[in-house]
Amino acid sequence: MNNWITPNEILSEIKEIGSYVGHLDSRSGTLEWYDKEREISIYATPNWETDGEVPFDVNRDDENGYHHICTIKMVKGEKSTQLTHYLNVLMMVMNHYSEFGKYEVTDVYSFKTLNLPSFGNGVVNETIKNSKGITQSILDFVEKNGNASFTKMNEFYKKSFGSNSFVHILKSLQIPYKNRLTKRYLIKVGRNYEVRLANPSNWIVKEY
């Protein structure tokens, strides 16, 4: 059995990369790298669903929501080697979003270089997700069904995108952004969630 590096071990070695600050959510166990200048979060949690694999998701903390970038297999061997591998991929994602800023980036073909041998066993999942993105896909799912419980949305999310914690996505979905495509957001009604439209009395505008 391989001894895989953990989020705590990563943070014990490095907590800041440029304008990004690493944070481990004590409830979900998600490792988040937050860019305080651009309001971008990169979720990259080792061993999240499968030991030795790391899913990379990006959330720009705005109306466009989350996008799954890729899932990598960590290299086997010393944890120092695994840390280098992890940071190489993480910084590629960070540099990509630093270059493109807040513009919409959903084409994961930008990360084809992750298949290079130097990155170990290559990319596990590099399929382009629905161009609408995770946020709009979940809103469509709830609206189509009239309402949906947390469990149903989480099951849909895992089946469709199979990446990091849905809790963070649900939090974003409940904010009535004016700028969000279709201006839809979720509101909790009893035990379920329903779709509503943001309006001038409650919408929130993100400045770019």
**What does pTM read for this prediction?**
0.55
Minimal CA–CA distance to 47: which of 97, 94, 9?
9
CA distance 37 to 17: 12
CA 128 to chain centre: 14
User: What's residue 132's pLDDT?
Assistant: 54
Residue 63: which residues within 8 A CB-CB, separation 6 or more? 135, 177, 178, 179, 180, 181, 206
Could you report the per-residue pLDDT of 59-94, keeping only the tens digit for each? 875 555 678 888 888 878 888 888 888 888 888 888
Name all contacts of 31-35 with Cβ < 8 Å and 24+ positions apart: 31/7, 32/168, 33/90, 33/94, 35/94, 35/97, 35/98
User: What's residue 64's pLDDT?
Assistant: 57
User: CA separation (Å) from 97 to 38, 47, 91, 105?
Assistant: 9, 24, 10, 8
User: What's residue 19's pLDDT?
Assistant: 84
Q: 72 and 119 in contact (C-beta within 8 Å)?
A: yes
Task: Output the six-digit token pair for 173.
Answer: 């979905």
User: What's residue 125's pLDDT?
Assistant: 33
User: What's residue 10's pLDDT?
Assistant: 94
| Residues of the chain falling short of pLDDT 50 | 1, 100-131, 207-208
User: What's residue 62's pLDDT?
Assistant: 55
